[in-house]
Amino acid sequence: MKHNKAKGDLRTYGNWPLILSVLLLVPVVAIYFISPMACLVMGIVWLLYLAASLWIFFYSRKGIRRDLVSYATQFGQVQKGLLKGLAIPYALLDENGRFIWSNTGFSSVIHKGRIYSKSITTYFPEIGADSLPPDEKTVSVDISYNNRDYRVDMRRISLDEGKEGELEAFKGEVIALFLFDVTDVNMYMRLNREQSLVSGLMYLDNYDETLESVEDVRRSLLAALIDRKINKYFHDMDAVVKKLEKDKYFIVMKRISFDRMRDGRFDILEDVKNVNIGNQMSVTLSIGFGMGTDSFLQDSEYARNAIDLALGRGGDQAVVKTPDKIIYFGGKSQQVEKSTRVKARVKANALREIIESKDQILVMGHKVTDIDSLGASVGVYRASDALHKKCHIVMNEAPAAIRPFVEAFRNSKDYAADFFVTSSEAVQLCDENTAVVVVDTNRPNMTECPDLLEIAKTIVVLDHHRMGTDRIPNVTLSYIESYASSACEMISEILQYITDNIRIKGIEADSLYAGIMIDTNNFMTKAGVRTFEAAAFLRRSGADVTRVRKLFRNDIADYKARAEAVRNAELYKGKYAISVCPNNVESPTVVGAQAANELLNINLVKASFILTDYQDVIYVSARSIDEVNVQVVMERIGGGGHLNIAGAQLSGKSLEEAREILKTTLDEMEAEGELK
């Protein structure tokens, strides 16, 4: 039969004796011409070789082939036996994922003796048709079966590589499947993770202020109660807490304990606030944890960065920092204003040293400049001018809301033509002897000229917004106080310490006063003792309330747009006012912010959100009085701000999409307990 003939290398190997016989005949004939006797001897040898070759070709080759077939059969049986008893569970599937064959190890796992023609999904629901390998690449799927964890490796094998004449039954594709028991590996990995150590820092935000609010005889009792509450909480968490100072603690705990504390959303924050023995204000905590790095030292550094971030955001919250992200918990309390101005004086002295060491100052605020940003920039200019240093304010375009102030500076002979410079001009002016001062923002992408931050050697940040994940890097001096009502309030305090008998011009005092007035909504929001002290200082310096009010009067179009936003407001869930501000005015974002403030005057409204479509970006203005932390809401959608004044920007979204995003965020945060 044709298919019984030897093929390939075996056939060539059997033909070689005859081929060599023909080749050897040539030297035998050639030797005859040299020596007939030698030729006779060689001829006899050649005849014997030819006879042996013929015997091998006609008789022995069949035996060799028979022995090879017998060996192959035995080898196949051995191979099949090895596969059958292979310790690794192994099976073959057809193209549709149905079982064709399985070894003993696989049958022992699923405890079934007869599984042929059944789909693999019957036993492993995690492996559907879309999980099967599309080509010869190995696909891995993690599954659980009978309380054991397995990794399933599958690979598609093609049988269509046979040559012409082979049986069609062996053509097609099969899927080889291996089961690897990873239960023990997962258990040890989980134990390793759970037993790993996590370090953290915990600070009492207002320890001194709280003690001062109680009687002298009760102060030691209050401190003892706070210590007892903290030690008991972390003792229950199997953690080590060490008191570093009177209001600072170092924490070390297992990861499993940390996970339990995180699942409880750091309820120690609320527990400590409930300590009350007659104190007028509650004690608040700031907690910072770092984890996820390759070294314990790096984790500790992350913890320090996290606690700085928690304090910069106003305290009363926990911050967890990993290499991938930063997670915030808490932050629902209004930060208490500090009565002391020591920090303001220290920062003013540091700012003076920086200004005196540089040849010129470039000061900038955030994009779409408002009066708080402009007023703070003007205050930095006054400090620089008092120290005899050249200062420029970086501003590309003056929005309509602040245009009267900008024109007043440009028309005044007291200010140079380059008092305001554009971003491109600022980049050309910036050199090694230039200090860049950023006011009213601490996020690099929100500044008027982000390129300045990349080339400047000295950067100063003066801001009253809570710090977020995206912060300006390589800052030489940072003064961020989230309890301050405005950046103008902070600059007004700094001006009082920057130099003796500083003289502020009337238009400069007006700008600073206007910044405080707008950010406090006419001194009704976040206006503390220091806010009024700063306003009093500006009034003494020449700020005219009547002149400021005239500069802020709206035209009829803005007033109608604000009224339209209020009229079309939707009361979502009976407490969140959501509306859209018309963009047919010159400064729709300012009108939107004003409308958000107006909506708070409506009964039952806990928070207001105004959406404004301006220059292909959806601007969200969020406001509240005291019941809802709008800052954490805006942070969920990429923004930030304060507890009761915040905002966000959504690019590439329509108004309806932005509205749905806002509603979904509110729903999720209510379900998580983030909102009351």
Full-model pTM? 0.60
In the predicted model, what is the mean pLDDT of residues 317-333?
82
Percentage with pLDDT > 90 across the chain: 33
In the predicted model, what is the mean pLDDT of residues 278-284?
79
> What is the residue-wise DSSP string for 567-583?
HT-EEETTTEEEEEE-S
Return d(Cα 101, Cα 176) in angstroms, integer. Answer: 10
Pinpoint the alpha helices (H) of 520-555.
Answer: 529-540, 545-551
**Residue bearing the bigger pLDDT, 236 or 400:** 236
**pLDDT above 80 for 54:** no
Return d(Cα 279, Cα 222) in angstroms, integer. Answer: 9
The three-state DSSP-derived secondary structure of 155-224 is EEEECCCCCCCCCHHHCCEEEEEEEEECHHHHHHHHHHHHHCEEEEEEEECCHHHHHHCCCHHHHHHHHH
**pLDDT above 70 for 161:** no
Contact predicate 363/380, CB 8 Å: yes
Q: What is the pLDDT of residue 459?
A: 94
Q: What is the pLDDT of residue 160?
A: 62
**pLDDT above 80 for 98:** yes
**Residue bearing the bigger pLDDT, 447 or 80:** 447
Percentage with pLDDT > 70 across the chain: 89
Range of lowest pLDDT (7-11, 195-199, 518-522, 549-553): 7-11
Phi, psi of 109 (to 5 degrees): -75, -45
**Residue bearing the bigger pLDDT, 468 or 541:** 541
Q: What is the pLDDT of residue 393?
A: 95
Q: What is the pLDDT of residue 1?
A: 41
Contact predicate 634/618, CB 8 Å: no
Mean pLDDT score of the chain: 84
12-33: per-residue pLDDT in tens? 666 777 777 777 777 877 877 7
**pLDDT above 90 for 662:** yes
102-149: per-residue pLDDT in tens? 888 888 888 776 677 788 888 888 888 888 888 778 888 898 888 889
Return d(Cα 10, Cα 545) in angstroms, integer. Answer: 108
Return d(Cα 67, Cα 80) in angstroms, integer. Answer: 20
**pLDDT above 80 for 93:** yes
335-354: per-residue pLDDT in tens? 555 556 778 888 899 999 99
Cα dihedral sign, 76-77-83-86: negative
In the predicted model, what is the mean pLDDT of residues 591-611?
91
DSSP, collapsed to helix, strand or coil, labels residue 409 as helix
HSE value, Cβ hemisphere, 13 Å, CA-based, for 248: 7
The three-state DSSP-derived secondary structure of 411-458 is HCCCCCCCCEECHHHHHHHCCCCEEEEEECCCCHHHECCHHHHHHCCE
Q: What is the pLDDT of residue 355?
A: 94
* Strands lying side by side in the sheet with 390-394: 420-421, 390-394, 360-364, 434-439, 458-463, 477-480
Return the CATH class of domain 557-671.
Answer: alpha beta
Return d(Cα 608, Cα 613) in angstroms, integer. Answer: 17
**pLDDT above 70 for 69:** no
Q: Do domains 342-551 and 557-671 have the same CATH topology?
A: no
**Residue bearing the bigger pLDDT, 420 or 101:** 420
Cβ-based burial of 513 (10 A; exposed 0-12, middle 13-18, buried ≥19): buried
Q: Which residues are CB-neighbours of 76 under 8 A, at least 6 positions away? A: none
Pinpoint the alpha helices (H) of 85-178.
Answer: 104-110
Return d(Cα 383, Cα 491) in angstroms, integer. Answer: 9
> What CATH number belongs to 90-190?
3.30.450.20
In the predicted model, what is the mean pLDDT of residues 211-230?
86
Contact predicate 517/544, CB 8 Å: no
In the predicted model, what is the mean pLDDT of residues 58-70?
64
Return d(Cα 567, Cα 595) in angstroms, integer. Answer: 10
Cβ-based burial of 366 (10 A; exposed 0-12, middle 13-18, buried ≥19): buried
237-254: per-residue pLDDT in tens? 999 999 998 889 999 999
**pLDDT above 60 for 8:** no
> Per-residue b/e over 242-280, b at no fewer than 16 CB within 10 Å?
eeeeebebebebbebbbeebeeeebebbbebbebeeebe
pLDDT-derived band of residue 80, with 50, 70 and 90 as boundaries? low
The structure tokens listed for 374 are 């402009």
In the predicted model, what is the mean pLDDT of residues 621-641?
86
Contact predicate 66/60, CB 8 Å: no
In the predicted model, what is the mean pLDDT of residues 488-517?
91
Contact predicate 374/441, CB 8 Å: no
Q: What is the pLDDT of residue 493?
A: 92
DSSP, collapsed to helix, strand or coil, labels residue 375 as helix
534-591: per-residue pLDDT in tens? 999 999 998 988 888 887 777 888 889 999 999 999 999 999 999 999 988 887 888 8
**pLDDT above 70 for 216:** yes
Q: Amino acid letter at 252?
A: V
Give the CA angle between residues 622, 626, 630 to the nearest 5°.
30
pLDDT-derived band of residue 169, with 50, 70 and 90 as boundaries? very low
Nearest to 456 by CA among 445, 443, 472, 440: 472
Q: What is the pLDDT of residue 330?
A: 79
Q: What is the pLDDT of residue 259?
A: 92
Contact predicate 618/655, CB 8 Å: yes
Q: What CATH architecture applies to the domain 342-551?
A: Alpha-Beta Complex (3.90)
Q: What is the pLDDT of residue 113?
A: 66
Q: Which residues are CB-neighbours of 200 under 8 A, at least 6 positions away? A: 250, 251, 252, 253, 287, 288, 289, 290, 303, 306, 307
Q: Which residues are CB-neighbours of 531 under 8 A, at least 6 positions away? A: 484, 485, 486, 489, 516, 520, 523
Delimit the domains of the chain by residue range. Answer: 2-84, 90-190, 196-330, 342-551, 557-671
**pLDDT above 50 for 164:** no
Return d(Cα 208, Cα 201) in angstroms, integer. Answer: 19
Which one of 3.40.50.720, 3.30.70.270, 3.40.470.10, 3.30.300.30 gives the CATH number of domain 196-330?
Answer: 3.30.70.270
